[in-house]
A and B are shown apart, each in its own frame.
Chain A
Amino acid sequence: MKAKDPRELDFFDASHLPAMDRREFLKVFGGGIVVAFSLVDVLEGQEGQRGRGPGGGNLPTDFNAFLAIREDGKVVCLTGKIEMGQGIVTSLAQMLAEELDVSLDSVVMVMGDTDLCPWDMGTFGSMTTRVFGPAMRAAAAEARAVLIDLAAEKLHRPAAQLAVREGVVYDAKDPAAKITYAQLAEGKKIERHLEKKPPVKAPAAFRVVGTSQLRRDAREKVTGRARYAGDMLFPGMLHARILRPPAHGAKLLDADVSAAEKMPGIRIVRDADLLAVLHESPDAAEAALAKIKARFDVPDTGLDDKTIYDHLLKVAPKGEESGLKGSLEEGAKLADPVIESTFLNAYVAHAPIEPHTATVRIEGDKVTAWISTQRPFGDKDEIAKALGVPAANVRVIAPFVGGGFGGKTSNRQAVEAARLAKATGRPVQVAWSRGEEFFYDTFRPAAIVKIKSGAAKNGSIVLWDYAVYFAGQRGSDHFYDIPNSRTTVYGSSWTGGPGTHPFATGAWRAPSNSTNTFARESQIDIMAARAGMDPVEFRLGNLKDPRMIRVLKAAAAKAGWKPAPAPTGRGRGVACGIDAGTYVAHFAEVEVDKAGGKVQVKRVVVAQDMGLTINPAGARLQMEGCITMGLGYALAEEIRFRNGEILDVNFDTYEIPRFSWTPAMETVILDAADAPPQGGGEPPIIGMGAAVANAIHDAVGARLYQLPMTPARVKAALDEKAPAATGRTKSALRPRTGIA
């Protein structure tokens, strides 16, 4: 079934499908035509592969899905992708409806079920539309051609004469001669392969793609009927609460469970590192957990959210250089002056409102797990390994997922639930509390960026020497026209090696890129201000990439940008970036309370070129969501910790954006229908840090070098002192800029 040609499709009857329970399969389809497609090596040559996947280096080998044309006329798409709010349940259906010429209503999406859907590496990296999408469109186009061939045989008309509308194949010259997809699918055993691949539709022929569609899952969500992993409840199911260490790296010395044990209905499981109390009532399990008296040895690492940056520099591995161009020495001579800056950003939590949850049921040798996951197939393998059973015995189902943002690519809770289900012989649910969610989150890594750059008197950038530590590679390459330039990436993956971070880190929406864009675009503004030039004109003067120029000009026009060197006192800032193939430009407008340092973002304009836009309404939702979420890492979000203890464990001290923060938002999607579709769920978040930092500078003349830009740090910058957070330590790494 694995085709070597990425475009190769196999058409076959359901009974030929391997690794799938035929009974289950027919339950879904009730017969019909099945189209399987795979896309091999599709990521070859794609940017940002390094460290892809939660384990690092876990590269995908193929992409697969099935389409099925059912006897009832419904078109079913089975994909291992999952819906977590990003809206692919709508946009994938649009692509399918378009190429097959069926109504959007007739498309049924079956997502994230490892028994029904073919392998998929996971839903992250803004890859669904740009990587999976083209494969699915090609498959649908080919399926349509096969259906037309079948119709030609039935209708005794030449295929070239046939047209399709809403799933009805008809003779364009004699519309009375027609047959539906449903009729063609009836009792079919299809195994057919086309020699000549039909092209996908040209944008001019689109009826569904490119039109704005509301979310298809909204009704379930507004009525409370949408089911998430924690809503899977079974008779006899036990809710587990697990004894957690007070700090990362802490070792359990002893635990007295005698009081907990006495509670009626309580089960206690001790299995190696796992000590859990279980009860049919989650409240009772919680009460039992509180009765356990445990002692832990908490190591003194000396690391906290202030000392971490020095530590990171100390443990940094050898850097990977890329993009070496010209001569840095020559550039330094031409620069007037050379400006050196250091930028920092804190650990940031994913903080989805639905905490990590898993419900696991074991019946005979069959393990079924409902998980709040972005990576069902990865979880399947992990559960199989933990239980010592063949992966084929494990079925993972991702129901609705209550937000992911990269954090649900890692699912420790699923393995915990599986082990406890095995130990107790009962279905078990592990639903993390908010505190556990903050403790075991795979945070966006703390990171450092050091830049040495300079422009000549005429405003052309002549030197760019960029070094990033532990944020990762994505977005570290600049896109300006600079003759002397180098990028060095220390610790190319966001996970870091052993001994790097005091707890788990991972991919956080547009991983690496928000950090890199913050640093790069702040530095560009610093140079522009130093040159006495308007920041937009300064950028345009150093750009040659026509896509970026177009995006920046579109955003400036929408923002009503009036050129002037910063600081103007107006409080407006700009930032550009590229992520997941999408070009994006942000403009932010802020008000700064000089007395308290509080920043209110009043307005944000985002323009992007994302190639072909499948669902403009959905893309705009993602743009607004990114702006809103991006305010958090820009202004407030920072995990504080000491010796492995996470000090922010709920939303009282870990502030995420709320209604009152929401700025006026204007989104511009540039027409690029002839270009391949690119990422939509992540790119519009990357510029938020820099656009706001630059706007603060424009407002009050103070430059912020550290994210988040808390009132204390803004105040400190205003006072022209070191930011409070690092000022209390003897850190050699005070974020600063200086003229060399």
Chain B
Amino acid sequence: MDEKIGFTLNGKPVSIGAGGGRMLLGVLRYDFGLLGVKYGCGEGFCGACTVLVDDAPVRSCQTLLKDVKGRSVVTIEALAAGEALHPLQKAFMRNDALQCGYCTPGMILNAYGLLRRDPNPSRAKIIDEMSGNLCRCGTYARIVAAIQDAAREMRAEK
């Protein structure tokens, strides 16, 4: 049996012996039932499976379970503080920055990582940093607006 791998998941310590060679995507969805993590392409090209590891966005379909040992993993389910949504979530709603919604969790978490590194990113930087996340419904312009909107709100809150 594989050794148990411990990490923090959405703020709580967890431990799992499911095999460290598995990808985080399947572990989060099927072992922990965190279904906001989405499979899109399985090879890191679309960003639908993005989660935060130590507050930085990673592709969970390309991240081995053993590589998150001892680290903190956050999924879309834990971004809101209870019923109080994160400013990014509110801004996505306010700006109609989604259609089918399948890429949305990955978009929001990637944007979260961006705003953490740069609380006041230029439009060009947002486009550059988000370009690895794909949306087939064509909501990119709204997402850029939503990220700018959320960034303003987050700076004001500080």
Contact = CB atoms under 8 A, between A and B. Distances in A.
Contact of A628 (B48, B104, B138): B138
Given A352-B100, A400-B100, A626-B138, A224 B39 contact: no
A224 B131 contact: no
Nearest to A621: B96
- Per DSSP, chain B at the interface is loop
A228 B103 CA distance: 12
Interface string A635-678: 00000000000000011100011111110010000000000000
Nearest to A354: B102
- Per DSSP, chain A at the interface is loop
Interface in B42-88: 42-43, 45-46, 48, 75-77, 79-80, 85
Interface string B91-104: 01110101111111
A629 B136 contact: yes
A353 B139 CA distance: 13
Contacts of A231: 35
B148 interface: no
B39 A230 contact: yes
Nearest to A400: B101
Interface string B30-47: 100111111111110110
Contacts of B30: 233, 239, 281-283
B35 A224 contact: yes
B14 interface: no
Nearest to A625: B138
A283 B23 contact: yes
A740 B33 CA distance: 66
B36 A85 contact: no
A621 B102 contact: no
A222 B89 contact: yes
Contacts of A665: 141
Interface string A399-410: 011111100000
A647 B4 CA distance: 40
Nearest to A220: B101
A625 B35 contact: no
Given A86-B99, A281-B26, A627-B138, A225 B36 contact: yes
Given A353-B48, A628-B140, A218 B96 contact: yes
Contacts, number: 176
Nearest to A433: B42
B102 A223 contact: no
B108 interface: yes
Given A84-B100, A282-B26, A621-B96, A659 B144 contact: yes
Contacts of B131: 658-660
Question: Is the interface on chain B under 10, 10 to 19, 20 to 34, or 35 or more residues?
Answer: 35 or more
Interface in A269-320: 281-283
Contacts of B94: 214
A355 interface: yes
A219 B144 CA distance: 18
Contact of A223 (B37, B43, B85): B85
A225 B37 CA distance: 10
Contacts of B9: none
A281 to B, nearest CB: 6
A217 interface: yes
A389 interface: no
A353 to B, nearest CB: 5
Nearest to B80: A223
A215 interface: yes
Given A434-B42, A624-B138, A628-B140, A85 B23 contact: no
Contacts of A227: 35
B127 A660 contact: yes
Contacts of B140: 628, 657-659, 661-662
Given A221-B104, A231-B35, A353-B102, A651 B134 contact: yes
A224 B77 contact: yes
A722 to B, nearest CB: 32
A669 B54 CA distance: 45
B92 A434 contact: no
Contacts of A282: 26, 30
B138 A218 contact: no
Contact of A405 (B22, B103, B136, B144): B136
A308 B131 CA distance: 33
B134 A403 contact: no
A226 interface: yes
A89 B128 CA distance: 33
B136 A353 contact: yes
A225 to B, nearest CB: 7
B130 interface: yes
A626 B136 CA distance: 10
A404 B22 CA distance: 30
Contacts of A352: 100, 102, 136
Contacts of A689: none
B136 A621 contact: no
Find the residue from A215, A222, A402 having the highest chain B CB count within 10 A.
A222
Find the residue from A351, A628, A661 having the highest chain B CB count within 10 A.
A628
Interface of A: 84-87, 214-215, 217-228, 230-231, 233, 239, 281-283, 351-355, 400-405, 431, 433-434, 617-618, 621, 624-629, 650-652, 656-662, 665
Which 8 pairs show the lowest CB-CB distances between chains A and B? A224-B36, A628-B138, A85-B100, A402-B102, A221-B101, A85-B99, A224-B76, A625-B138
Given A222-B104, A224-B35, 19 more contacts: A86-B99, A87-B99, A214-B93, A217-B101, A218-B92, A218-B93, A218-B98, A221-B98, A222-B85, A224-B76, A224-B77, A282-B30, A352-B102, A434-B41, A625-B138, A629-B137, A656-B134, A659-B126, A659-B144
Interface of B: 18-19, 22-23, 26, 30, 33-43, 45-46, 48, 75-77, 79-80, 85, 89, 92-94, 96, 98-105, 108, 126-128, 130-144
11 contacts: A233-B35, A239-B30, A353-B46, A401-B100, A402-B101, A403-B99, A403-B136, A621-B96, A625-B137, A651-B45, A659-B128
